Structure 1
Amino acid sequence: MQIFFRRKSLIIAGLTPLLSVFTLFVIVPIAGSFYFSFFSWDGFSPRQWVGLDNYAKLIQDSIFWNSIKNNLYFVGFSIFFEIPLGLYLAIVLNGKIIRRSGIFKTVFFMPVVIPTVVLALITNMVLNYQIGLVNTLLRQVGLGDWARNWLGDPQFSILLLCFIVVWQYTGLFMVIFLAALQNVPDEVLEAAEMDGCTGMKRTRLITVPMITDTILASMVLCISGALRTFELIYATTNGGPNNATDVAATYMFNQTFVSMKYGYGNAIAFFTLLISLLLILASYVFFRKR
């Protein structure tokens, strides 16, 4: 504590630039979004104060709640697929057999570095009804009746996009977990092995509990990332067909910049932020208790 007070001025001087940037690019836009959400405004004409009307309309907006439901699909797929798969790959790559082989790490991490717009273009080409790879293969093997407009079918489109996101970001969590596993002290693992705790038993009882904080942080990243999903949806389906793949970000974008309802779009953005914070807080409390 004495060291803190002696060096308080240096600490403040070091934090001030970062806090200033954070305030300018995060806090101020959030406050501005909250302020403009109380107006009816098209971005050009004078603003009209409407109070809580935008939020009242939002609560009754079935399309908005459908977009939140789609976001929850992404949250669920991220938590129950990306984290387990990333952890499994990290454990395998941290093993003695392929621990020093960088080719596997590169292959599994490659989808993360592919720009989302490029991934969306590839997705459109692969799933295209007429010339897409999937339908072409189905027709070649005599299963032409199974061919369909995958991204245009409300029954499959959102699930396919969820799996694409899982494929894209599993490598990211693999790297995070791999770094955490490599920081587990070898002495602890050797002691467990001497006590007869080896293989999956050691992984389950020793290794995984020691990286619980990393798993929890990864879940927070999953939730926040899933609720910010935008580029893939916008570049593939733009929320279609008939709003079946709309998420909060695409719905907010279309209401703000297509329908020119700036006040309503800001209400969507702020309300989505509140939902994100509540989900993150709930997951944090739940897994801390567990």
Structure 2
Amino acid sequence: MPDVLLSASNLVKSYGERRAVDGVSLRVLAGQTLGLLGPNGAGKSTTVGMLCGLVRPDAGEVLLAGEPINPDAMRAKGRIGLVPQDLALYEDLPALENLRLFGALYGLAGTLLAERCKAALALANLEDRARDKVATFSGGMKRRLNIACALLHEPQLLILDEPTVGVDPQSRNAIFDTLEQLKREGRSLVYTSHYMEEVERLADHIVIIDHGKVLADESPAALRERLPAQAALRFELREPLKEEHLERLRGEAGVAGISANGTAYEVRLADPDDAVSLLAWLEKNGYRIHHFATARASLEDIFLNLTGRSLRD
């Protein structure tokens, strides 16, 4: 089993009367991508601040490879790369000069700094814009440069706090291409978001928090097993189901529920393989299927099941 790279134990942080983080514990294994998922205001950014040593917890501790992380632990903090939600770039400087500046802050110089800057530009796919001012970049290009700056010192752990906020779908895909390349290289990542599809695409393990508390700490597969329905079959018929057939379907093994809207139906299934036999049953009973689609349980469904509210509320 891979070594534990980062561990956080019972983190607590309050601001006045409001407790932003209330007993959060998590861990990141070497080479793992941890998705930290929760709605806006759930405590994700405060947790990230404590994980990277920018915020001192009221209680609890953070360890990176066994070494404490806190605002005073400068050497340990240097082993973490942070991509903050708010862009940390100098817009009046070209991309290359931003990289040189951040590299110098990390103690890099000379040939090594030049090599790291070249590699960072290639990773961010910004080689042809190296000497252009950041102010001329799109939101997605700035986000990719922000990631590149955080990687110059080759950190053991990269923490990304909502790195796709305010970017268009094409730029978001470019950012994900970059992060997936980092995953292939065996990098350890912590990725926070309130976009379910992003965490589903990247994460090997997911921690869901709400109101500062951990609600789930599991693999994506284990999270889906929490739901009574693991998949759904959506279909539309030429004519509505007869009442006796509808009642019979509701009583079938593996059917967790049925909802109807005219001739459109959604059948929630415990096993995705049951969709095939259900379609065959409809045809056998004389129903003409206009169209159908299958879907699996999403993180949105899981969050709704855990909290009773939408992830983006």
TM-score for the superposition, normalised by structure 1:
0.23
TM-score for the superposition, normalised by structure 2:
0.22
Greater share of helix residues, 1 or 2? Answer: 1
